[in-house]
Amino acid sequence: MTTAPATAAAGSAPHLREDLLTPRFYTTEIGKAARTDLDPQRASFEAMLQEMETDYNRDHFDRRAGLGRLSSLSETEQTAYESYLVRSCVSEFSGFLLFKELSRQLQRAQRPELSRLFSLMARDEARHAGFLNRALVAEGIEIDLPAMGGKRPITWFPLNWVLYSVYLSEKIGYWRYILIDRHLKLHPENSFAPLFDFFEPWCQDENRHGDIFNMLIRCWPGLNSGWHGRLLSRFFLWSVFLTHSLTVCERGDFYQLLGLDPNQFDAEVMRQTNRTARRAFPVVFDLEESAFLALRDRLVTTFRELRQARNRPLRRLVLQGRFATLLLRQFCQPMVATGSAPA
C-alpha cells in the first residue's frame, strides 16, 4: 500500500488513512470491449487518436516547477489541502491502472488501435498522478504509487457501466478543475499553491478523455437509446452527482480555503456536467425545475447527522431510513429528453 516513509507521514497526518491510500482497480468485459465496432465512428476515432498522439500537454507538466505552498496554512487548512491532494492523486492513479490494464488486454485481444488509445489515456493519468504526488512530497508526504499498483483489490463492472461512469467522471473532473481555475483567476489572493496554475491545460486532458468515452458509447448504439439508455443515464448521473455532493459539501474545507462556497460550487459543477451530458445521453436531469438540488441539501445534512450518531443505534436507524427515502426521491426526479442519438 505505502512505503515506510508514507506510513511515517501518515502518523503526523491522520487524514492519510489506509482506505484513502488504497485505490480500487476496476476491470470489465475485455472480450466484449475487444468486439467494439469502430467503423461507424471511424472518423471520430482517427481524429481523437491523432489528437492524443500529438500530446498537447507534453511539456505542460514541468518536473522542475515548484509545487509547495506560497503561504502558511493553519493545521486545519493544511489537513484540508493535503486530504484533497491524496484523494486526487489516488483517483488519478486508479484511472491509470484501469486504462493501462485495458490497453494490455486489448493488445492481447488483437485490437492494437484500441490498445494504443487506452495507452495514451493511461499516459495522461500517470502524469496527473505523478504531478499530484510531487505536490504531496512538497508537503513532506510520500506515497509509493507503484507499490499501491501491485497490491490492489479488483472490482468487476460490466462494460456499459465502465463507459458511462468513466465518461461522467472525466467530464465532472473537467468542470471541477476549470471552475476552480476561473475562480482563482478572478481571486488570485486565494491561489495559495503553484499547483493551481496548471489546472487549465490539465483539465483539457479530462475533457478529451470524456469525448473519447462518448465516442466509445456511440460505438454501441443500444447503450444510449431506448429504455436501457434512459435507465443508464438516470443511474449514472444520479450516482456521480450524489458522490460529488457528499465529497464537496460534506468535506468543504478545501473549497472554503479557495474562497468558494462548497454548496454553490457543487451545484454549478452539476449544472455544467448535466448540460455537457446532453451531447452523450438520451436524457438528463431537470436541475432547475425539480427538487433535485433541494434534496441534495437534505441528503448532505442527513449524512452529517449520520456521522455524528455513530454511537446512537436508534438514532442511526431513523437517520438511515430518512437517508434511503431521500435517495429514492432524488433518483426519481424528472428528466428531460436531449435529442442525443447514436450517430
Q: How far is CA 100 from the centre of its chain?
A: 17
Measured distance CA(166)–CA(147) in Å, rounded: 24
Q: What is the four-CA torsion angle of 292, 295, 301, 305, rounded to 10 degrees?
A: -130
pLDDT per residue, tens digit, the chain (343 aa), is 233 333 334 444 444 554 444 456 677 888 899 999 999 999 999 999 999 999 888 877 777 788 889 888 999 999 999 989 988 998 898 899 889 989 999 999 999 999 999 999 999 999 999 889 999 999 988 887 777 666 666 788 899 999 999 999 999 999 999 999 999 999 999 999 999 998 988 889 999 999 999 999 999 988 888 999 999 999 999 999 999 999 998 778 999 999 999 999 999 999 999 999 999 999 999 999 999 999 999 999 999 999 999 889 999 999 999 999 999 999 999 999 997 654 4
Contacts with 125 (C-beta within 8 Å, 6 or more apart), sequence order: 92, 93, 95, 96, 99
Q: Is the C-alpha dihedral spanning 11, 12, 18, 23 positive or negative?
A: negative
Q: For the CA atoms of the chain, what is the radius of gyration?
A: 20
